[in-house]
């Protein structure tokens, strides 16, 4: 089926490597920002709770394509933000894609963690506060460690969705897998073989992730 394709003309490995980089950097950023957001959402400070709630509802219900285009057009071209792209080997579009993916995906990380926080018995937090621990200490030492252990499975789903969402980065010119697939379809006019190649590539990227994190979730599950 692939005999009609001149695959030597295309950098398949480079395209999927860009996809992997987008996934890794965006996952790290989303985990950090999502954790900060969930801390705001359960904070005793009304202003922080309001900001976290509004942010999650706005970005979670905004199409990812719109978020990425807004980052590229508004931040990069209108406000001339370079995101320090001049000091690295990646492009400005790549960094804007990472930023957009972090802004979007962190909302799902936040909600997953918030559901994990709800599984932690209230008595544990009350006992910690009675011992004199601050809200930050209770959250970081008592609540969040248990919340993370209980939501490894949902976070794995978020990571898999993030891997597939990197294809949207093609909308702002990032040369990842979907960008190359579109170019190959235009040049080769062989739809089924090309789509099969890229579908297989994403299965190879996402299936081991789901299986591995599924095993980790079972081993790390909090026993009640």
pLDDT tens digit sequence for 70-117: 888 877 666 666 655 554 445 778 888 999 999 999 999 999 999 988
- CA 90 – CA 155 distance, rounded (Å): 27
pLDDT in tens, 188-213: 767 788 888 888 888 988 888 888 88
Whether residue 223 is predicted with pLDDT greater than 80 in this model: the reply is no
Band (160; pLDDT cuts 50, 70, 90): very high
Q: What's the pLDDT score for residue 15?
A: 84
Q: What's the pLDDT score for residue 181?
A: 83
Q: Which of 127, 119, 123, 144 is nearest to 43 (CA)?
A: 144
Average pLDDT of the residues of the chain: 83
Q: Which of 56, 65, 130, 152 is nearest to 100 (CA)?
A: 65
Architecture of the domain defined by 7-220: Orthogonal Bundle (1.10)
pLDDT greater at residue 118 or residue 220: 118
Q: DSSP code of 170?
A: G
Phi, psi of 169 (to 5 degrees): -60, -20
The residue ranges of every structural domain in the chain are 7-220
Best-predicted range by mean pLDDT among 4-8, 113-117, 118-122, 170-174? 113-117
Angle between helices 191-220 and 12-41 (to 10 degrees): 40
pLDDT in tens, 173-191: 787 788 878 878 777 767 7
Tokens read off for 196: 């099969």
pLDDT in tens, 25-48: 999 999 999 999 999 998 889 999
Whether residue 49 is predicted with pLDDT greater than 50 in this model: the reply is yes
Q: What's the pLDDT score for residue 104?
A: 95
Determine which helix (DSSP H) or strand (DSSP E) holds 24, and give its type and residue range: helix 12-41
Entry pTM: 0.85
- CA 50 – CA 42 distance, rounded (Å): 10
Whether residue 24 is predicted with pLDDT greater than 90 in this model: the reply is yes
pLDDT greater at residue 54 or residue 218: 54
């Amino acid at each position: 089926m692939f005999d009609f394709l001149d695959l030597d003309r295309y950098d398949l490995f480079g395209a999927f490597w860009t996809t992997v980089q987008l996934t890794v950097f965006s996952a790290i950023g989303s985990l950090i920002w999502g954790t900060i957001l969930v801390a705001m959402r359960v904070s005793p400070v009304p202003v922080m709770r309001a900001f976290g709630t509004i942010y999650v509802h706005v970005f979670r219900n905004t199409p990812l394509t719109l978020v990425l285009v807004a980052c590229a057009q508004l931040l990069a071209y209108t406000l001339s933000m370079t995101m320090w792209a001049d000091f690295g080997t990646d492009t400005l579009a790549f960094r804007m894609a990472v930023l957009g993916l972090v802004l979007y995906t962190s909302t799902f990380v936040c909600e997953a963690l918030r559901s994990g926080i709800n599984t932690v018995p209230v008595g544990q937090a009350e006992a910690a506060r009675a011992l004199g621990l601050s809200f930050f200490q209770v959250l970081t030492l008592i609540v969040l460690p248990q919340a993370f252990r209980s939501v490894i499975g949902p976070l794995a789903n978020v990571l898999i969705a993030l891997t597939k969402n990197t294809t949207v980065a093609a909308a702002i010119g990032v040369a990842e897998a979907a960008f190359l697939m579109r170019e190959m379809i235009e040049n080769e006019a062989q739809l089924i073989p090309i789509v099969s190649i890229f579908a297989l590539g994403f299965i190879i990227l996402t299936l081991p992730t789901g299986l591995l994190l599924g095993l980790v979730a079972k081993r790390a599950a909090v026993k009640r």
